[in-house]
Chains A and B, each alone.
Chain A
Amino acid sequence: MSVLSDQAAALAPGRRPGLWSGRRSRVLTLLGRRLIQIPVVLFVVSILTFWLIELVPGDPGRNALGQYATPAQVRAWDVSNGLTGPITGRYLHWLSDFVSGNWGTSFVYQVPSRPLVFGHLVNTLFLGLFAFVLLVPLALVLGSIQAYREGGRTDRGITIALMSLSSVPEFVIGVLLLVVFAVGLNLVPVESGAFATGDFAQRLQVTTLPAVTLAVAYLAVLARMVRTGTAGALTAQFHRTAVLKGLRPAQIVRRHVARNALIPTLQLVGIYLGTLLGGSAVVETLFNYPGLGALLVVAAERKDPVLLTDGVMITGVIALLALLLTDIGLILMDPRIRFEAGES
């Protein structure tokens, strides 16, 4: 929430009109700054992750080889997998391997980590995209209904319903949906395991319940942003001018209301695209959906440092890219926004 209010504060001092010719150059400036910022942030994240995983108690060599391996064998395995020596050296070694695309082998799955991570990432993005296709139109409709009825009974009713719905844990909503649609009505399978093998129609079918579950979790916040944005636009001077000028309602909505309502919404979408990866860990585990979140949970449970580090790094990259894309979208939509130094 505070991130949003900070950005809303940045929006408030409107720039003088007529100065918004350099939109493209501002996109380029932003890209240039992020080109430096993103690697720095990723570098810090990688140090943090590597150091934290280093603290993990347990012996990966022993886990991989089983209890019948001799200590010498375990030792040889540790050496060949680069698990010995001082942590700084190993970190630098890992970093150069990671950057050059040589990601090592997952201890748990015994396959190269890179195709594993990217395969699951694609599945998660498919799930997230599906959820957003369901979520965004619904949030726009609900939020604008609320804004046009601001303060009324419909407005309050929708707010309470959405707030309650959004604080229900994802796995609870998922379980209830499963009970109704998979066990009761038998419309979809209980598990999404068939995702990996089926054709597109079948994929869509098994992804529906997970996507609905994810969408429900984000509906309330998004609808609230649409409501705030629309309500703000409806009370603004320019809206009154547009009405008095005699514009048709459709024109007012399209040219004046929609644009202003979408700005805060888009900011939120960007932030949530990042968290979606984390949020989907729960949903993916519940439905046995083969996504990146579920993969990371398995990696954590079964102590697979290679898979965990690679997966966390990719999650960070995706989250940062999502933020970057949102910022570019915002600049294109709202000429007032400038990303000053120190604001991220």
Chain B
Amino acid sequence: MAVAITTAASAEARARPGRRRLRALLRRPTFVVSALIVLWWVGAAATWRLFGLNPYVNTGHINLAPGWHQLLGTDSLGRSVFARTLAGADTALLVGAFGCLLATVLGSALGVIAGYFRGWVDTAFMRLFDVLVVLPPLIFLIVVVEAFGASVPALIVIIGVVFAPGIARIIRAAVLAEMGKKYVTTAKVQGESAARIMARELVPNVLPTIVIQATLSLAAAILMTATLSFLGLGAQPPSPDWGLVINENRVYLESAWWSVVFPAVAVGSLVVATQLVADNLKEVWS
């Protein structure tokens, strides 16, 4: 991300509070622990294949309790709960992360444009959002997923579109606050084009807000993905997706609690950790 700074001196002045904030973050135990949890799941999603884990194969023992041979037990089809829980990070992070990225890019662009131009662009956008707010987001998602299908690319686009208005609203408010400042007026007087002011002046200045919103939406997007697959509207069997696994195995809750509880703890820890990372970023930055 190219930050528009005219002189090296001001770049130096900017970098220093950045480093100070990083140190402040690292001193917070909740931030360190939750960042480590997020990294653990990212690592699991990226590397579980390298360790020869197979989430699909029958180990020969059905509903085996957690123990020495199978660390977290086996499910009703004899598959290793350990392998499935690690592999489940894959779909959650794939859809969550890329959906959130799309939502952030789309939402920031809309927010900056609405905040810069005001007028009818702004009004039209806000009225449209008012209509979307009426429907509970999950109900809206159910209808959209039914219409466009539940493949991974479709889910990414859907998550992106559903989360974009919320981000846009916040970025718009941040841009409105920036618009009153002198540097924007200066840039306008200098005759810079609207696109250039938005990209080189406004975006760098609302970047902290964008990053915080992106992290917050990441938590929400992972949660939404897991929820959709829990409802049977996302990943399909035999995928080890956490939400799907919890739904499939909840009938075995009384005979094999481990096949439900471990994926539940996994998705819970990832969402909570992401949320706490976002909260810490927000507190340190403001």
Chain A residues near B (Cβ < 8 Å) = 1-3, 5, 41, 44-45, 48-49, 52-53, 55-57, 160, 163-164, 167-172, 175-176, 178-179, 182-183, 190, 274-279, 281-282, 285-286, 293, 296-297, 300-301, 303, 308, 312, 315-316, 319-320, 344
Contact = CB atoms under 8 A, between A and B. Distances in A.
B146 interface: yes
B268 A168 contact: yes
8 contacts: A53-B143, A53-B147, A164-B276, A167-B276, A172-B265, A183-B257, A278-B139, A285-B247
B214 interface: no
Interface in B259-286: 260-261, 264-265, 267-268, 271-272, 274-276, 279
Given A52-B146, A175-B246, 16 more contacts: A5-B173, A41-B131, A53-B147, A167-B219, A169-B227, A171-B226, A171-B230, A171-B247, A183-B254, A274-B134, A277-B139, A278-B140, A286-B230, A293-B138, A303-B146, A319-B135
Q: Is the interface of A mostly helix, strand, loop or mixed?
A: helix
B233 A175 contact: no
A2 B257 contact: no
Interface string B111-146: 000000000000000000011011111111011111
A312 B143 contact: yes
A176 B264 contact: yes
B273 to A, nearest CB: 9
A33 to B, nearest CB: 14
Q: Is the interface of B mostly helix, strand, loop or mixed?
A: helix
A259 B268 CA distance: 36
A178 B257 CA distance: 10
Given A53-B147, A163-B279, A312-B143, A275 B137 contact: yes
Contacts of A55: 147-148
B223 interface: yes
Contact of B272 (A168, A171, A175, A275): A168
A253 B216 CA distance: 35
Interface of B: 30, 130-131, 133-140, 142-149, 166, 169-170, 173, 219, 223, 226-227, 230-233, 243, 246-247, 250, 253-254, 257, 260-261, 264-265, 267-268, 271-272, 274-276, 279
- What 4 A-B pairs come out closest when comparing CB atoms? A278-B136, A278-B138, A167-B275, A55-B147
A250 to B, nearest CB: 35
Contacts of A44: 131
A190 B249 CA distance: 13
Contact of A56 (B133, B147, B260): B147
B41 to A, nearest CB: 14
Contacts of A274: 134, 136
Contact of A171 (B30, B135, B264, B275): B264
A313 B264 CA distance: 33
Contacts of A171: 226-227, 230, 243, 246-247, 264
Best-buried of B142, B257, B261 by chain A (most CB within 10 Å): B142
Nearest to B258: A179
Contacts of B274: 167
B250 A286 contact: yes
Contacts of A319: 134-136
Nearest to B265: A172
A45 B230 contact: no
Contacts of B243: 169, 171
Given A175-B260, A312-B143, A282 B253 contact: no
A151 to B, nearest CB: 13
Given A297-B142, A297-B233, A300-B142, A315 B133 contact: no
Given A175-B253, A179-B261, A183-B257, A300 B233 contact: yes
B148 to A, nearest CB: 7
A172 B268 contact: yes
Contacts of B169: 2
A164 B272 CA distance: 6
A344 B123 CA distance: 13
Contacts of A308: 142-143, 146
Nearest to B254: A183
A45 B260 CA distance: 37
Contacts of A312: 135, 139, 143
A163 B276 contact: yes
Best-buried of B30, B135, B173, B254 by chain A (most CB within 10 Å): B135
A172 B143 contact: no
Contacts of A286: 230, 250
Contacts of A164: 272, 275-276
A106 to B, nearest CB: 15
Given A169-B226, A319-B135, A300 B143 contact: yes
Contacts of A1: 170
Contacts of A170: 227
